[in-house]
Amino acid sequence: MEALKFLHGRSVMHRNLKPENVLVDKCGSGGDIHVKVSDLSMSRSISFPNMQSYTPEDPKDRDRSGREARRLWYRAPEFFFRQLVYGQEVDMWTVGCLLAEMARGDPLFVAESEIE
C-alpha cells in the first residue's frame, strides 16, 4: 500500500499489479520484511483535472499465453468494459484481489479469457 501511495501521490497508475510484481524480501537478522512493487512497463501518468483516455487493451478474442491469462485474474472491470477514462481505482481493485487471494489461498477470479 505504501508503494501505491507513493506512485499515486506522483500521479502514476501501475495498471499491472499481480503476485509476480510484488517482491517480498526478508532482510537482516531482525526479521525485517521489505515489500517492493516492480514492472512499471504498463504504468501511465494521470492527468488531473482533465482525465485523458488511454490506449485500449488487446481485443477480447485474441489467444493468450498462460501467463497473460493469469494476468486477467487481477484486472479491474474498467479494462474489460473498455472504459476510455479511468484512474487509480484500477490499482485498488487489484490490491483487493491480491488480499483476497492471500486470505483464501487461491485467486478470487480464475479465468482463461476476458469473457469468462
CA 98/CA 77 separation, integer angstroms? 15
Confidence of residue 105 (pLDDT cuts 50, 70, 90): very high
The full set of domains in the chain, from first to last, is 2-104 (1.10.510.10)
Q: Are 76 and 90 in contact (CB under 8 A)?
A: yes
- Three-state secondary-structure class, residue 36: strand
Confidence of residue 67 (pLDDT cuts 50, 70, 90): low
Mean pLDDT to the nearest integer, 22-48: 84
C-alpha cell of residue 62: 485474441
Q: Which of 18-27, 39-48, 50-59 tops mean pLDDT?
A: 18-27
Q: Which of 34-43, 53-62, 92-101 has the lowest mean pLDDT?
A: 53-62
Statement: residue 56 has pLDDT above 80: no
Confidence of residue 61 (pLDDT cuts 50, 70, 90): very low
C-alpha cell of residue 63: 489467444
CA 14/CA 20 separation, integer angstroms? 13
Confidence at residue 89, expressed as pLDDT on a 0 to 100 scale = 92
Mean pLDDT to the nearest integer, 15-29: 87
Statement: residue 66 has pLDDT above 60: no
